[in-house]
């Protein structure tokens, strides 16, 4: 394709730039998509942009089979021509030049274009089986377009890193929240041991093991446990007892359980325990003295198992309910207990439903696979 006329060249570069902008709006890599549009329009076999912004994926490569970000120029490519590309000049290489390079000959290169931007020192490369019909005006416009798209790609990558760090921070806060609960429980049991009240050593060991597993899971110190079919009732009883002790309100708030002994669901115990303990602590904290928290587990008509925690507290408005589902935002407390619940529910591949209204209490339902 010949794009030597000024109007044709301008339209062509604009189309490549627009393709990159559309990709950016859709969440795709704008530089790769803009470069790919240029490669197709030129009829080139391969297109490449080497960014001077650096980073682990500084090379954008597109050919007939793939769009990829690479750490370095592929070994099969004639990197000598890229390394020696003069700044501000375009080199159009034909067979007479490329056949002198063993690597270029081995790669089957016939025609190539290489240019280094005078503004950013980024390098543009195209190779093809037939001559590339471009001129210096087109190359300079394409360099400028790819520089803009490269900046967009960099911002997009920064945004994604920020989102990953934000997500990691929310998870860390949720783990710290749950770890505090585990340590509080261990302190209570240690106090009981010091006072000679029963023999809570196994419970103390279990609390400390739970704290250790929280840290290990967050740091990725072991394989992710799998969900397996298991009875529910005993787990619910244990979590109700633990939450009642940690809350310090066992004397004035009852927690009533309704779950038949043989009911089973598919779940991973550690994550379900974390979610339930946070829900129970929230429900107990919201329930006035003399009232009750209800925990129910039953099989639904579609074969799933619903675990519901209901309180008799003051309930929430729609605005409070919306805030509840965002980490660090809560009408009371830190808000990171809810973040932990959401994290655990997602890991369990379960569904979460929350119902609440002012003066009507709150009901939270976890739907587990049967």
Question: Are 28 and 105 within one domain?
Answer: yes
Question: Are 131 and 234 within one domain?
Answer: no
Listed residue (163, 165, 153, 166) closest to 27, CA to CA? 153
C-alpha distances (whole Å) from 301 to each of 106, 113, 258, 267, 347 are: 66, 66, 18, 19, 24
CATH number where 249 lies: 3.30.565.10
Which of 162, 192, 211 is the last residue in one of the domains?
Answer: 162
The tokens describing 269, both together, are: 């115990």
- Whether 85 contacts 91, CB under 8 Å: yes
Q: Is residue 178 in a domain? A: no
Which whole number is the average pLDDT over 141-163? 88
Question: Are 141 and 24 within one domain?
Answer: yes
The tokens describing 153, both together, are: 């790609």
Looking at the structure of the chain, the number of domains it has is 2
Tens-place pLDDT, residues 334-370: 444 577 788 888 888 999 999 998 989 999 999 998 7
Cα-Cα end-to-end distance for the chain: 61
Per-residue H/E/C for 32-92: HHHHHHHHHHHCCCEEEEECCCCCCCCEEEEECCCEEEECCCCCCCCHHHHHCCCECCEEE
Listed residue (245, 238, 243) closest to 191, CA to CA? 245
CATH number where 90 lies: 3.30.450.40
Tens-place pLDDT, residues 175-221: 666 776 666 777 676 666 666 665 455 666 666 666 666 666 666 65
Q: Is residue 177 in a domain? A: no
Is-above-0.85 flag for pTM? no
């Amino acid at each position: 394709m010949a794009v030597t006329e000024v109007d044709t060249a301008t339209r062509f570069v604009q189309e490549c730039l627009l393709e990159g902008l559309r990709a950016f709006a859709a969440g795709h890599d704008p530089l790769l998509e803009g470069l790919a549009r240029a490669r197709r329009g030129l009829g080139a076999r391969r297109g490449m942009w080497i960014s001077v912004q650096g980073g682990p994926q500084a090379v954008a490569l597109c050919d007939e089979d793939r769009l990829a970000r690479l750490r370095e120029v592929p070994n099969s490519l004639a990197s000598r021509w890229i390394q020696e590309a003069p700044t501000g000049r375009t080199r159009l290489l034909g067979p007479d030049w490329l056949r002198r390079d063993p690597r270029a000959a081995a790669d089957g290169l016939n025609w190539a274009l290489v240019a280094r931007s005078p503004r950013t020192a980024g390098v543009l490369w195209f190779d093809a089986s037939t001559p590339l019909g471009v001129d210096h005006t087109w190359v300079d416009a394409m360099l400028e377009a790819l520089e803009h798209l490269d900046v967009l790609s960099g911002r997009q990558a920064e945004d994604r890193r920020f989102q990953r760090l934000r997500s990691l921070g929310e998870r860390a806060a949720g783990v710290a929240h749950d770890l505090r609960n585990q340590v509080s429980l261990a302190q209570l049991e240690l106090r009981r041991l010091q006072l000679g009240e029963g023999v809570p050593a196994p419970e103390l060991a279990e609390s400390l093991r739970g704290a250790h597993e929280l840290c290990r899971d967050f740091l990725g110190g072991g394989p992710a446990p799998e969900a397996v079919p298991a009875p529910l009732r005993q787990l619910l009883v244990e979590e109700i007892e633990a939450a009642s002790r940690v809350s310090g309100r066992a004397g004035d708030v009852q927690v009533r359980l309704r779950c038949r002994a043989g009911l089973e669901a598919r779940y991973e115990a550690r994550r379900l325990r974390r979610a339930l303990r946070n829900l129970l602590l929230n429900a107990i904290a919201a329930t006035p003295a003399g009232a009750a928290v209800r925990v129910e587990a039953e099989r639904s008509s579609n074969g799933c198992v619903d675990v519901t925690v209901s309180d008799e507290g003051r309930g929430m408005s729609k605005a409070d309910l919306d805030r509840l589902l965002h980490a660090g935002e809560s009408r009371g407390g830190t808000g990171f207990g809810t973040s932990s619940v959401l994290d655990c529910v997602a890991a369990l591949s379960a569904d979460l439903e929350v119902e609440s209204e002012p003066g009507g209490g709150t009901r939270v339902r976890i739907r587990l696979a049967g």
